[in-house]
Amino acid sequence: MATPALRDDFRLYIDGAFVAGEASFESLDPARGMPWARMPAASAADVDRAVRAAHRAFDDSAWAELTATQRGRLLTRLGDLVAAHAPELAELETRDTGKIIRETRAQIGYVAEYYRYFGGLADKFEGAHLPVDKPDMEAYLRREPIGVVAAVVPWNSQLFLSAVKLGPALAAGCTVVLKASEDGPAPLLAFARLVHEAGFPPGVVNILTGFGEECGRTLTAHKLVSRVAFTGGPSTARHVVRNTAENLAYTTLELGGKSPVIVFADADLESAANAVVAGIFAASGQSCVAGSRLFVEESVREKLLAILAEKARRIRIGDPADAATEMGPLATPRQLAHIEATVAASLEAGAALVTGGGRPAGFEDGLYYAPTILACAGNEVPCAAQELFGPVLSVIAFEGEADVVAKANDSPFGLAAGVFTSNLTRAHRLIRKLRAGIVWVNTYRAVSPIVPFGGYGQSGLGREGGAESIRDYTRTKSVWIRTSDEPIADPFVMR
């Protein structure tokens, strides 16, 4: 049987044109464990052309002289196009990353709302009049776009993670070079066609994919880049921060997590279990906010574990393109290998396997891993200490609020947390004490363009989403106006 031909129509988007790039690489279909498409790999020269195009577009009248309202209309138009093309973008994301089609369709459809939201905000963020202490002076602040933005996103939720960067950057009047991950870049390269159709002037948005040194380092260290917005892992983020020593670019980082979900004995256990399952097994656990550490009050530990184990065993694993599938494969072979090694080390360290713990039968060709639950003594077990980015839940018992707060905060990460209790005053106490950028109470994984997103500690710096995020793509200019008609006195004549 002949090997199917690789799809070969994906291109870089530079300065309003679709170009092949100087090199290429094969992209893997995670459900089948084999290449399905050839992707362009941006070279250092390609990156330089894209950044220079963005720098030129930033000052060009076609973009620079648009009113904020006109920029907003372009963003709204882009949102409408994303909504119209969500089914085909979802199919590409499912094929290239292994995320199940029911999730990609829902998520990409909602991404359109982010562009509409930022389109509506474009002419609503303001400067300020300053009541200075000088009677013959007026002073005010202008907010002006910061310049060329380097936006770097990973493969998971890439259209969403692009929207929370492109939306506020373009609303503010910046220009952008967006780097998609070399893992699963197809949806963002296809999204470039919608940017083009929306009518953004050439160079305002450029979309690339490629590898670390050639593409990533060249982009984040480029002397014409004024702002870096990065989503990814802490180790890569450290390289990005070092790169920005070259250009002193303002940098925000949205990194990983080891998010605690806390279930008290007075919680609705069935509801909490559904949230826990969604929080760790949705997207095969490949989410920065995955609720991978579950803290259960000792008195209900066995009961909740039994409910979770039954729900995990019932999860329908299958082809991510099948609408009936509830969990698909992992995205990359290295991710699968990392999870297998960490689970093995955790079992050796004393963790007890509740369910899962290996590849499901019948899916040997793809990058599948079964929904896994491990009962752990504490945070020192490898699966509870490390971000796995996979469908592995570490369950730890606690007794009382002080105990669980100490255990939940015992992590270098601080992106999200969940609290399940019927005691509202207790919930408010924990909200204050948990070191996390997001706290969900009696729910999990809720998002909105209106609500900021970001973490503490090694989960990153800065926030994305919400009205304030546009300000991060601007710098202020102080303006002084003398209102007196009297001539300025000679400064060297003493009176």
Q: Report the candidate in 387, 24, 442, 426 with the shortest Cα–Cα distance to residue 236.
A: 387
| Whether 390 contacts 380, CB under 8 Å | no
Q: At what angle do helices 269-281 and 301-314 cross, to 10 degrees?
A: 50
Q: Are 396 and 402 in contact (CB under 8 A)?
A: no
- The beta-strand segments (E) located in 301-457 are 352-355, 372-375, 392-398, 413-414, 416-420, 438-441, 456-457
Q: Return the beta strands (E) in 52-186 as ranges.
A: 128-130, 137-145, 148-152, 175-180
Describe the crossing of helices 424-433 and 401-408 by its angle, rounded to 10 degrees: 40
Query: Using CA atoms, how far apart are residues 186 and 191, in angstroms rounded to an integer?
Result: 9
**446-465 burial, b if ≥16 CB within 10 A, otherwise e?**
ebebeebbbbbbbbbbbbbb
Distance CA 152, CA 161 (A): 9
Q: Please enumerate in sequence order all residues whose Cβ is within 8 A of that of 122, keeping only pairs 6 or more positions apart, or say none.
A: 68, 69, 71, 72, 75, 170, 171, 172, 470
Q: Which of 383, 316, 334, 280 is nearest to 30 (CA)?
A: 334
In terms of C-beta density within 10 A (0-12 exposed, 13-18 middle, 19 or more buried), how is residue 121 classed?
buried
Phi and psi at residue 214, in whole multiples of 5°?
Answer: -65, -45
189-214 exposure pattern, b = at least 16 Cβ within 10 A, e = fewer: bbbbebbbebebbbbbbbbbbbeeeb
- Return the C-alpha torsion angle 209, 213, 217, 223, nearest 10: -110
Among residues 103, 182, 214, 254, which one is catalytic?
254
CB 108 within 8 A of CB 102: no
Q: Active-site residue 214, yes or no?
A: no
CA dist., res. 341 & res. 113, Å (int): 39
Query: What number of residues does the chain have?
Result: 495
* Positions marked catalytic: 254
